[in-house]
Chains A and B, each alone.
Chain A
Amino acid sequence: MYHSQRLALKYFTAAIALFGVMIVAGLLAAYYYIDPQILYNVFDFSMAKILHIDVLIIWLLMGFFGAVYWFLPEELGRETVGLGVAKVAFYVLCAAVLVVAAVFIFVQYGKSGEFSLWFINQGRKYVEAPRWAALGITAVVLVFMYNVVGTALKAKKITGVVAVLIVDLVPLFALYLISLPAITNMSVDLYWWWWLVHMWVEATWEVLIGCIMALALMQLLGTSRRIVETWLYIEVALVLGTGILGLGHHYFWIGTPKYWLSIGGLFSAFEPLPLLGMVVHAVYDSGVHRMKATNRPAFYWVMAEAFGNFIGAGVWGFMMTLPQINLFSHGTQWTVSHGHFAFWGAYGCGVIAVIYLALQKSRSVSYMDGTAWKWSFALLNIGLVGMAGALLVSGMAQAFYERAIGGSTLQAFIQAQSSPWFMQGMYARFGFGILFAVGYVILVYNLLTVGRREAVGAAVPAAT
């Protein structure tokens, strides 16, 4: 095993640990809707939510880094360049996450001023981390870029997947710089902030996970490089073609010119189309391999990624992306529902699939299967679908009572929050959240034990 892959395992461990923190913070945030008095003035909803969504970003990012550190040496046939710096960057990132989390939990907020921006909380959703930590994340991304580009240069070799990856790393780094300035004009601030949030999630991350999945499919199914790279180019072109200007669906109501209504609606409406192609591709692959692979958990998680992405981003997204609907749905639990489903489908499932692949090799298991992963797969996915469904009911109740009937007044907001439809959705979301958490516990157990408890080199069923 390459040293780069040992670093990848550390990233995966940190990612899974943070996945757990995200779930705990999410359950707490969900519980505030059931009992708003809990931890009042001690640890308010806003802080639980910040932890929940910021940790989401970090665990996925760590999962992506781990995946690239895992596949890169095999792809380029040599050890990753600059691993010493990469290891330091890993520990710096972990320490920074711990310190920021401690500040969010114990300090929470400060006076309006530069000190708070630098050391406590920047106050912009998803990038609340104080400036010093944002600079640290930027430095870590730079080190990551150096590792990838340096390895390609040193190997004097570049593959299609690595070329796409390198091109993608430039906006991945550059866009994060938007987290640093504090712009006082709210419209201008939101305009650029959405570049960061949308272009990371619906453009650069999509390309990054596309590269990771391409590398994973070659290892998991032995798919030929030509096939994988051809589809990577097609899917990246389609995703970027629709995703970049799909940014406009965030510009509907922030004070930007009216033409964004047309641009945002049009390109967002096209976003499900490439995802449908991915679903057809997933069915084809499952048929070619007759739902069998030497790593069944990884195979199933890859399939879940294709379907989850289509339903979460495609179905849930299209429901609310046209401006006439979005006028009522934006900023409600409806959006939250879409966010949960889309993040899970597009990224969460993919990272878990890669971790199973890495474990198979690091534990020298020729055939990976068992029972526990099936339970975690089922509980995590049922829990997630249940949460998304429950949040959808609550969000629709909000759009119906608060926005469409009540005209978005404060009184209408309060009435909608106490409507039985909204509250039942909140109870159901918490219940499915518990189910999801149980799935996570089994996932951790399985990741710790899979391949260790089962017979190494057990009979491999015929895979095509």
Chain B
Amino acid sequence: MSSVELLKTAGLLGVLVLFGGGYGVLYAVGRLRRQRLWLRGGFACYAVQVLIAAVLVATSPLALGWKALIVFSVLAYLAIPPVTWRYLERTHHDEGEAYDS
């Protein structure tokens, strides 16, 4: 791996997770406030995450296995916020603590 590729790949890996976090936060805020704008912002973050993953897969010198792992991770990121949210609502609802906007 060349020196430039090193920094580029590492930077993209960090930003990949950061946008995953951005998606999680904006998705949760969108569900909390029941506002589509926030949800759209969240999905825009996720779209950027997919784009970063595509760039990593297409251009980085990472081995094939790590590229497959990145693809799998990005799919997992898509599922985590909605699944977590649904489970949170269910457990809180059962305990009478549901969020009421």
Contacts and interface: CB of A to CB of B under 8 A. Distances in A.
Interface of A: 223-224, 226-227, 230-231, 262, 265-266, 269-270, 272-273, 276-277, 279-281, 283-284, 287-288, 310-311, 314-316, 318-320, 322, 324-325, 327-329, 396, 399-401, 404-405
A284 B91 contact: no
Contacts of B84: 276-277, 280-281
B93 to A, nearest CB: 10
A223 B84 CA distance: 17
B72 to A, nearest CB: 9
Contacts of B95: 224, 226-227
A287 B10 contact: no
A345 B1 CA distance: 31
Nearest to A226: B95
B61 A280 contact: no
13 contacts: A227-B91, A273-B80, A276-B20, A280-B25, A283-B28, A288-B97, A288-B99, A315-B18, A324-B63, A325-B10, A328-B1, A399-B7, A401-B3
A328 B8 CA distance: 13
Contacts of B94: 226
A318 B17 contact: yes
Contacts of B3: 400-401, 404-405
A325 B32 contact: no
B21 A314 contact: yes
Contacts of A329: 10
A227 B13 contact: no
Given A276-B77, A280-B85, A284-B85, A322 B62 contact: yes
A323 to B, nearest CB: 8
A283 B25 contact: yes
A287 B28 CA distance: 9
A269 B69 contact: yes
Given A276-B81, A325-B10, A400-B6, A315 B1 contact: no
A396 B80 CA distance: 31
A288 B81 CA distance: 17
A399 B10 CA distance: 11
A272 B16 CA distance: 11
A279 B99 contact: no
Contacts of A279: 21, 24-25, 28
A284 B9 contact: no
Contacts of A311: 18, 21
A306 to B, nearest CB: 10
Contacts of B16: 318
A277 B84 CA distance: 6
A280 B91 contact: no
Contacts of B55: none
A270 B73 CA distance: 7
A400 B7 contact: yes
A305 B9 CA distance: 28
Contacts of A223: 97
A67 B11 CA distance: 37
B29 interface: yes
Contacts of B18: 311, 315
B63 to A, nearest CB: 7
Interface in B12-34: 13-14, 16-18, 20-21, 24-25, 27-29, 32-33
